[in-house]
Amino acid sequence: MEEFLNFLDNNLYLNGFKLLQITDNKILIFKSFSKYSKCIYIKLIDDSVEVKINKVFDVYGFYNGIERLIIPTNKFTNIDSSLKYIQKNCK
């Protein structure tokens, strides 16, 4: 996990996103915008990387609650492919 975290830190342009290690095998990359937060959840399982992306909308002022746009989880066996996918979503 430490190797993958260093790999992300060295090869990923975060573009204002924050990178946090949550547990031994989970990483969170997130950024807050004016009306929503974009969250990228990364989970390492053996030789694969699972990446899940959420947009969490703060609609408290409009609908008295929080809405989520959940994009399906993508599973990668190639670290370079996962890096490209994560980088594409750090915008």
Which residues, 6+ apart, have CB-to-CB distance to 27 below 8 Å?
4, 5, 8, 19, 20, 21, 41, 42, 43, 44
Mean pLDDT along residues 4-25 = 92
Q: What percent of the chain has pLDDT over 90?
A: 58
pLDDT bin (cut points 50, 70, 90) of residue 43 is very high
The parent domain of residue 6 ranges over 2-89
Q: Reduce the DSSP state of residue 77 to 3 states and report it.
A: coil
Task: Count up the domains in the chain and report the number.
Answer: 1
Dihedral of alpha carbons 67, 72, 77, 82, sign: negative
Q: What is residue 29's predicted lDDT score, i.e. its pLDDT? A: 96
Residue 83: strand, helix, or coil: helix
What's the pLDDT tens digit per position in 46-86? 889 999 999 888 766 666 666 777 788 999 999 899 999 99
